[in-house]
Structure 1
Amino acid sequence: MPPPGSKPDGVFLHIHGGGHVLAHCDWFDDLLLALATTTNLTVISPEYCLAPENPFPAGPSDVYDVATHLVDHSPSTYGGPLKFIAGDSAGAMLSMLTVLHLLKARPDFAFQGAAFIYGLFDWSLSPSAGNWTTPLIMRTSNIEHFGDAYLGSRTLLERRDPAISPLYHEVFQYPASQIEDLEALKTEGLEKRPKLPPALFLCGTLDPVVDDTVLMSFRYQVAGGEAVVKFVEGGPHGFLLFPEEQYESARIGKGILLDFLRARV
């Protein structure tokens, strides 16, 4: 989706949510138009393989292919580089995994910014995700259903594989041995730090993935990334899909997202 009435400056990659099992990019047309208009970028929101017909790793593999292609060919195809990535729910998880994938696949590339919107980053389930019974949009039983469709019979320990749950990626680990790494950074400079883009972590206070947002944003900052963390009071999972004129959380959350992007265009 190109920005209306102007020549785009590059590309914005959006990854839609849906628990890895449902949804399509055209469910998000209003949001994609707002992203394109705010950033003056062409927004690309790819379809990717969904479970249970196509379980892990099919979906992430599709997204990695799209992202890598855009890094390599966006300037020639779309008139400008890939600059931003964003995703909501499962799309936030896939966006984080894509950022981490590109650190190795295209080490000279760096996003200008990223937005991770009510993402679940640990498929072994954080305290809130594993104990959420409030019947508002999504509860623990729903998360478990999606996880089983996406990951099959994998145990909770196997679901902590960094390729599945980015919270456990090596970039975000902080054992005591890292003290030596910090000393090396002081003497050798910061060039060895991963090129994590400035990121927005956005979540509602009535969302079972609220602990994922807290934990992931903290580890993101420990790893050297800039993280803006915002919570929308009373916001349930998926609130950005609600009509703004009827639901204040949608209006507030969308405003936070667009303000973050404007500051980094």
Structure 2
Amino acid sequence: MAVCGKTCLIVSSVIVFGLGYMFYTPLPDYLEQPWELRKLNAKMMVGGIITEISHGLGFDDRVNLMRKWTYKWAIDAIRPSDWMKGVSVTDMKFDGVPVRIYKPTTSQNDDVLPTFVYYHGGGWVLLDVESYDPVMAHIAREVNIAVVSVEYGLAPEHPFPEGFDDCVKATEHVLQHGGKYGLDSKRVAVGGDSAGGNLAAAVTIYLRDQKSVTPPKAQVLIYGAFQFCTQSLPMATLRNELESFAKERHAFIVGSWWNLNKQERELLKTGKFTTPQLASKCKRLVDVKMVPESLIQDGYSPQDHVAHHVSDDVKRLSRLVSDPRISPLLADDLGKLPTALVLTVQWDHIRDEGIIYGKRLQQAGNKVTWQHFPKSFHGVLNWFHDDDLFESGPKLMNSIVEFLKQNLK
């Protein structure tokens, strides 16, 4: 009994300590509702632990388990019950790509509406159009436009460039044949959050270069990922120091998206994965000097990512990272692109690349509105309906609504 009691005490202590550590995720004081964020982080960390245990026991594939947990805790738990109020929803395919179309019920059947083509977030691996129903319905209702949400193929089942190609095909279909569906092909904006922001930026560059269709009028880039040549921008450096699992998570998500082998994923985790040529290009085009000094922590110093040995794996990684369909920031020419709304949030691994992308767009002669939310975090858009919890969610959504009203007239 004494041995059992001692064992139980040790196990209980470990559990309590572990839970305490998870709940007390290091967060800066300036963030809104830090304890709510800690609870959210704790849920995701518990989900990660359960995912790994379940996968190890052979219950399901790691990605499928991640998808179930993310949807249950991060999306379904905050889904408002009245999200469909005032909108009609139709599922169809555009050039073989599944899309979901949201229209305000105030519109008539013969109305031709300005259109917002949206690519959802989720790290190119998670979530789907259903996850974003409330967000899309709100935009359609408030701006009085049609919203086309693209169900692009997710990795690892559909690795790069399949998801990107789906977004291009669906968007070209709207721009070429939108009138058949009551969509105004001359008044189109594209946008997305996180991975979707990456896709939106990449799609606009691709459409500009192809010149096969009239390009979109505007783009909405919400805390997007715009480069992969460096993991040592100021906020990424800070987050990596505070979160021991950050590099592992990055390698898993990106490795799934790019269909990397084990050696290539290990290179990403070590941070030594680029050729000297890519490192030089990265320093030039992903210029940390564009990040405001007020946002750079004391003692910050950028790191070198040049591989110790330029192997075939390093060469392949560098080719992928250099591709503007993956890294819009590594496109030398960012001119003649649609008017942009660039939204960044403070507590975000990819904060700085959003800032740099917005400034480079502006330097290239494009019209750009940049808004930064200094008390907010990556993913807050999905809390747009709850200002009692996170005030920045409704504020960020209002910025999107006002921008679309002004640019899709």
- Alignment partner of 1:9 is 2:113: yes
1:33 shift after superposition: 1.4
1:142 shift after superposition: 2.6
Distance change (3 Å), C-alpha of 1:90 and 1:221? same
Deviations 1:32-57 (A, max 9, x none): 11221233221111111111121111
Task: Please say which of residues 60-69 and 33-42 is displaced more in the overlay.
Answer: 33-42
Normalised by the length of structure 1, the TM-score is 0.84
- Alignment partner of 1:254 is 2:376: no
Q: Which residue of the other structure, out of 356, 359, 371, is the alignment partner of 1:218? A: 359
Q: Which residue of the other structure, out of 185, 188, 197, is the alignment partner of 2:338? A: 197
Distance change (3 Å), C-alpha of 1:60 and 1:261? same
After the TM superposition, list the runs of 4 or more consecutive aligned residues in structure 1 that deviate by more than 3 angstroms.
Answer: 133-136, 138-141, 153-156
Which structure shows the bigger proportion of residues in helix conformation? Answer: 2
- Distance in 2 between residues matched to 1:255 and 1:238, nearest whole Å: 15
**Secondary structure in 2 matching 1:115:** strand
Distance change (3 Å), C-alpha of 1:134 and 1:15? farther
Amino acid at match of 1:237: H
Distance change (3 Å), C-alpha of 1:198 and 1:37? same
Distance change (3 Å), C-alpha of 1:108 and 1:44? closer
Amino acid at match of 2:224: G
Residue matched to 1:121: 226
Amino acid at match of 1:225: N
Normalised by the length of structure 2, the TM-score is 0.56
- Distance in 2 between residues matched to 1:139 and 1:234, nearest whole Å: 21
Task: Please say which of residues 105-114 and 221-230 is displaced more in the overlay.
Answer: 105-114
Contact 2:221–2:342 under 8 Å retained in 1: yes
- Alignment partner of 1:99 is 2:260: no
Please report the RMSD computed on the Cα atoms of aligned residues, expressed in angstroms. Answer: 2.2
Task: Please say which of residues 47-56 and 242-251 is displaced more in the overlay.
Answer: 242-251
- Alignment partner of 1:35 is 2:35: no
- Distance in 1 between residues matched to 2:382 and 2:341, nearest whole Å: 18
Deviations 1:115-168 (A, max 9, x none): 1000010022351464223779x9444333211111123645231222221101
- Distance in 1 between residues matched to 2:165 and 2:220, nearest whole Å: 20
**Percent identity over paired residues:** 26
Contact 1:10–1:75 under 8 Å retained in 2: no
Contact 1:38–1:261 under 8 Å retained in 2: no
Contact 2:146–2:183 under 8 Å retained in 1: no
Q: Which residue of the other structure, out of 169, 177, 181, is the alignment partner of 1:65? A: 169
Amino acid at match of 1:252: K
The structure whose Rg is larger is 2
- Bigger relative CO (Cα 8 Å, ≥ 6 apart): 1
Provide structure 1 residue ranges, at least 5 long, that are not aligned to the other structure.
173-192
Contact 1:15–1:92 under 8 Å retained in 2: yes
Residue matched to 1:144: 251
Q: Which residue of the other structure, out of 74, 79, 90, is the alignment partner of 2:195? A: 90
Task: Please say which of residues 87-96 and 205-214 is displaced more in the overlay.
Answer: 205-214
Distance change (3 Å), C-alpha of 1:77 and 1:148? same
Count how many residue pairs are aligned between Structure 1 and Structure 2.
Answer: 243
Residue matched to 1:169: 331
